Amino acid sequence: MIYLDHAATTPVDPRVMEAMLPYWTEKYGNASSIYALGREARRAVEKARQTVADILHAQPEEIIFTSCGTESDNMAIRGVAWASRDKGNHIITSSIEHHAVGHTCAQMAREFGYEITYLPVDRYGVVDPADVAAAITERTILISIMYANNEVGTIEPLAEIGAVARRHGIPFHTDAVQAGGSLDLDVDRLGVDLLSLSAHKLYGPKGVGVLYVRRGTPLLPIVTGGSQEQGRRAGTENVPYIVGMATALRLAQEEMATTNQRLAALRDRLIAGVLASVPHAALTGHPTHRLANNASFVFDYIEGEAILLQLDLQGIAASSGSACTTGEPEPSHVLTALGIPPARAHGALRLSLGKDNTRDDVDRVLAVLPGIVEKLQAMSPLCPR
Ligand code: PLP
């Protein structure tokens, strides 16, 4: 099988697995217990916290371990909104966020009367920092703009948006779930106050994430109970997964430069090959300012799902966009926000590379994809012959 869906999830790196293993059957203590076994678990959690903090150029007490990227996003939005209810009820976000942010904001509006501004993006999926500045009101309590888009790979100008947020004294959250394995995470350079990460996008386990919260940022817990994570996220610490999260992030960041260089070359070969050989094809997302592993396209006159099935028959695993939206009849909200007409947005294909992919994998896709697309297009009465 050729796996080209690393934006959906990644395999666990064997080095990560090895680091996690002892914490199931040998070092299985509860990190809150005071005897030696518990203290050992506590040490592992705090070491992991320090590792993550160092990578983010943050303090360990600013790192909260969560159950996934979705929970981190929920905690950032609800946590800040609840804590800021005396200040205002207006949240600024973009029209291309992952549903973990978008649907959370929508619920805040629908059920609790919050006002949400969904900023437009340009045809490449870039948010204009000037639009952020123009949307700010006296009631604005949070700005949430993703670091890199999960469907089209576009990287957002976080530092510029961060400078706007700082000037107005408004907390700035970024969903960095797709960026964690391949982009700089220095929270001061990025100018962010909250940042979400997820382990399974960077060769760690599914079901563990991080929320960075800058000291002084208003935040109420959304999961209440025990006093874990300094009372900000209750629940017995998932020690093996927390160790896995930190190990995966450390390895990804250490190996980032070489991995990015290799994957960007494969990505560019894929993009150039597809655009040259597939009829009625267009690249989606920014031509250069995009994740090193993301090659995403739209093809006219076909359904993305049909391509996926045909690729699957050839042993190639890919996606039409976000795994979280599979089965939704509507075309992707990201592609329509880029100005792509709905009919065209239905023919989306996302190929997301990973560190085990080779040039042979890319060439195999380039060998089979044009034929698949042409065959499907030939079935459409709309396709010009
Ligand atoms: N945000 C983005 C940009 C994502 O791509 C994903 C993953 O699909 C998430 C959030 C959710 O992360 P998790 O799967 O850990 O809940």
Whose CA is closest to atom 14 on ligand 1? 69
Q: Looking at the predicted structure, is the pLDDT value of residue 325 above 60?
A: no
**Helix/strand/coil percent split, the chain, to 5:** 45, 15, 40
Give dist(CA 372, CA 68) in Å, integer: 36
Out of 254, 278, 293, a domain closes at 254
Give dist(CA 200, CA 177) in Å, integer: 9
Under the banding of pLDDT at 50, 70 and 90, the label for residue 327 is low
What three-state secondary structure class fits 230? Answer: helix
What does the angle CA 230 – CA 232 – CA 237 come to, to the nearest 5 degrees?
Answer: 70
**What is the pTM (predicted TM-score) of this model?**
0.97
Residues 203 and 287 in one domain: no
Q: What is the pLDDT of residue 312?
A: 97
Residue 112 lies in a domain: yes
Average pLDDT, the chain: 96
Q: Is the CB of 74 under 6 A from ligand 1?
A: no
Q: Looking at the predicted structure, is the pLDDT value of residue 65 above 80?
A: yes
Residues 173 and 262 in one domain: no
Residue 8 lies in a domain: no
Q: How many domains in the chain?
A: 2
Please state the atom number of ligand 1 nearest to the C-alpha of residue 149: 3
Backbone φ and ψ for 142, nearest 5 degrees, come out as -160, 140
Residue 3 lies in a domain: no
Q: What is the pLDDT of residues 19-59, one digit of tens each?
A: 999 999 999 999 999 999 999 999 999 999 999 999 999 99
Residues 232 and 291 in one domain: no
**Taking Cα atoms as reference points, which of 222, 204, 170, 169 lies closest to residue 48?**
204
CA distances from 359 to 50, 263, 273 (A): 37, 10, 12
Structure tokens at 150: 């999960």
DSSP state of 354: -
Please state the atom number of ligand 1 nearest to the C-alpha of residue 209: 15
The answer to whether 122 touches 286, Cβ cutoff 8 Å, is no
Residues 194 and 223 in one domain: yes
Residues 153 and 188 in one domain: yes
Give dist(CA 317, CA 305) in Å, integer: 12
Residues 100 and 205 in one domain: yes
Out of 254, 285, 316, a domain closes at 254
Please state the atom number of ligand 1 nearest to the C-alpha of residue 8: 8
Q: What is the pLDDT of residues 129-148, one digit of tens each?
A: 999 999 999 999 999 999 99
Residues 266 and 190 in one domain: no
Strands across the sheet with 172-175, in order? 63-66, 209-213, 194-198, 172-175, 140-144, 90-94, 115-119
Q: Is the CB of 12 under 6 A from ligand 1?
A: no
Out of 199, 232, 254, a domain closes at 254
Residue 216 lies in a domain: yes
319 CA → ligand 1 middle, Å: 15
Instruction: For residue 72, give the CATH number of its domain.
Output: 3.40.640.10
Residues 57 and 152 in one domain: yes
The answer to whether 192 touches 41, Cβ cutoff 8 Å, is no
Q: Looking at the predicted structure, is the pLDDT value of residue 322 above 90?
A: no
**Taking Cα atoms as reference points, which of 185, 126, 186, 189 lies closest to residue 153?**
126
Q: Is the CB of 67 under 6 A from ligand 1?
A: no
324 CA → ligand 1 middle, Å: 8
Residue 86 lies in a domain: yes
The answer to whether 236 touches 228, Cβ cutoff 8 Å, is yes
Under the banding of pLDDT at 50, 70 and 90, the label for residue 330 is confident
Instruction: For residue 343, give the CATH number of its domain.
Output: 3.90.1150.10
Under the banding of pLDDT at 50, 70 and 90, the label for residue 251 is very high
Whose CA is closest to atom 5 on ligand 1? 150
Query: Phi/psi class of residue 93: alpha, beta or left (left: φ > 0; alpha: ψ in -120 to 50)?
Result: beta
Q: Is the CB of 69 under 6 A from ligand 1?
A: yes
Residue 5 lies in a domain: no
Query: Phi/psi class of residue 231: alpha, beta or left (left: φ > 0; alpha: ψ in -120 to 50)?
Result: left
**Taking Cα atoms as reference points, which of 207, 212, 267 lies closest to residue 241?**
207
Quickly count: other Cβ atoms within 10 Å of residue 82's Cβ: 16
Residues 215 and 332 in one domain: no
Domain assignment of residue 338, given as a range: 255-374
Residues 142 and 285 in one domain: no
Residues 37 and 96 in one domain: yes
Q: Is 105 a catalytic residue?
A: no
Residue 383 lies in a domain: no
Residues 343 and 366 in one domain: yes
What three-state secondary structure class fits 21? Answer: coil
Residue 380 lies in a domain: no
